[in-house]
Structure 1
Amino acid sequence: MTYVKVCPFADVPADGALAVEVGDAPVAIVRSGDDLYALSDICSHAEVSLSEGEVEDGTIECWLHGSCFDLRTGKPTNPPATQPVATYKVKVEDGDVYVSLGSDD
């Protein structure tokens, strides 16, 4: 599994999200409490940036139509979205955030 450095940890707002690019993939780096997540930055319903939404109780809300997505699984927790968004492995090393889009081979 290959991790790519995407940003300093300090750039990710508390209980908020930061949009980054990993290759050609738009990724939202999300802090919720003490936890850090990485998921596709594109809503599965309306194809808008999830990183512009609100983070609360382990979910991120799409700002356009209000669908919320579980940060751990990417699954929608309410309509209108019915399809999950991709989630990715994330880690922090030496104050920087790293994301892996790949899988274990």
Structure 2
Amino acid sequence: MSTRVAALADLTLNQALRVVVDGTPIALVLDAQGEVHAIGDTCTHGDISLAEGFVEGETLECWAHGSAFSLKTGKPLTLPAYEPVPVYAVELRDGDIFIDPTVTKEI
């Protein structure tokens, strides 16, 4: 079941926002094209919050070691990470963002 995690107005363009849904940390990103992305917030290389990193285009880069993850697929695009993070389907309803943390997108 989808859970309201934030208002669309809570997001800042090209910055990540960390939310926790049923114990699952998720990074929300509003990209330059106006699309909202939701990916696992924990870097697979170093157990670091990705929401503290840097958004560039369609990637979110871990601030600690520089691994960049695709916002669309969750796949790492640079080392040292080699395992992907989960990507969640986002539903927008009346200006609010909803996510079901038990359902990841098929990529």
Range class of TM-score, shorter chain: over 0.9
User: Residue 24 of structure 1 aligns with which residue?
Assistant: 23
Do residues 81 (structure 1) and 59 (structure 2) align? no
Residue ranges of structure 2 left out of the alignment (5+ in a row): none
Give the alignment of 1:12-51 within 5 angstroms. 12-33=11-32, 34-51=34-51
RMSD: 1.2
Residue ranges of structure 1 left out of the alignment (5+ in a row): none
Shift in Å at residue 12 of structure 1? 1.0
- Provide the secondary structure at the position in 2 that maps to 1:102: strand
Shift in Å at residue 57 of structure 1? 1.3
Do residues 97 (structure 1) and 97 (structure 2) align? yes
C-alpha distance after superposition, 1:2-50 (max 9, x if no partner): 2110011111111111000110101111111111110110000001000
Instruction: Name the amino acid aligned to 1:90.
Output: V
Aligned residues: percent identity?
Answer: 41
Runs ≥4 in structure 1, deviation > 6 angstroms? none
